[in-house]
Structure 1
């Protein structure tokens, strides 16, 4: 349920912000607004707006397929409120390294749900590492995608120049794994067991 709510709210707010600069300016991650005006809500609201329709579509498409499964698992294993807590806290944790790096930079702007979506995706990979994921219509095991994703994100984060916040992707992915293991430590043994039985 919460997965669909997050998708619906993100889609509506993103489309409104794309057509209204004042909305986008108030919700986007802009360090001086947090530092000087104490608008800490921007650490969450930046994840509900996107740069363009394709940015929005890919994030929400990924959240739709993997968020429902992680939400179902978390609800079954813990309580109904754990998944929304996980998703919203992932928005904050994923963007924190970027915020701290650019805390004094008035020219930096950040937006998008990619960090939280990465957290959801990597939480799913812990549960089903050999499940099939389509990457630009190319099928591959989720665990292989995870390795390639991390390597690519580290490389691009060091290289820079493409205006994509790769550090948020990495921080979100790490948070997704950590949250799952803290919530249910036995997930790690499940993950290792799944890895030992390759199937695709």
Structure 2
């Protein structure tokens, strides 16, 4: 869990620091206009280390603790000394990739901002489901379902809400982060798909 704890501390510390300094908070979040037109591409990743408020931060850290820790353990078991590197690579690249659809969709909107680690966290959740689809997962400790069902509901929900919009949540980042987590795992370990299917059927 060392890497997961490190990520949690980094996200929490940077978020808190940015809360005290609004100019830093603004500079780190994903402003799509500045990111695209001024080539401030670092925002694709730095936006994953700042959050709107305590609830936003807590929910991402809470999910990161459980699923990040599980993926850290799985990656170390499968990939040995490269496991931690691949885990961090998955998380950071997922944050960036999850932001890309929003970047291109909102590139000419100077008032659009997005922030939070949700894209990276979503990638970890779906990666875990791919490795262990029958493991029961509990949504906010209330609704408990096998991982593959919860994953399917999550993707469907993200698609519907992404099209509807209007709730100030970047559902596209959730969706594309989740899909990227699946692709990342299948590139690293293609046999995971066969195992996933055989587990279900």
* Residues 116-174 of structure 1, C-alpha deviations (whole Å, 9 max, x = no match): 10000000000111111111322211111111111111111111110111111110010
Q: Which has the larger displacement, 149-158 or 129-138?
A: 129-138
For residue 119 of structure 2, the aligned residue among 106, 112, 115 is: 115
- List alignment gaps of at least 5 residues for structure 1: none
Shift of residue 34, structure 1, vs aligned partner: 2.1
Q: TM-score, normalised by structure 1?
A: 0.94
Query: Could you say what secondary structure the match of 1:81 adopts?
Result: helix
Stretch moving more, 145-154 or 167-176: 145-154
> Where has structure 1 moved over 6 Å in runs of 4 or more?
none
Please give the residue correspondences for 1:1-200 in structure 2 after superposition, counting only pairs within 5 Å. 1-78=2-79, 79=82, 80-136=84-140, 137-196=142-201
1:64-118 CA-partner distances (Å, limit 9, x unpaired): 1011111122223221311111111001100001011111110100100001100
* Counterpart-to-counterpart distance in 1, 2:163 and 2:177: 17
Contact 2:28 2:46 in 1 (8 A): yes
How far did 1:35 drift? 3.0
More helix by share: 2
Q: In 1, are the aligned partners of 2:98 and 2:174 still within 8 Å (CA)?
A: yes
Task: Give me the CA root mean square deviation.
Answer: 1.2
Q: How many residues align?
A: 196
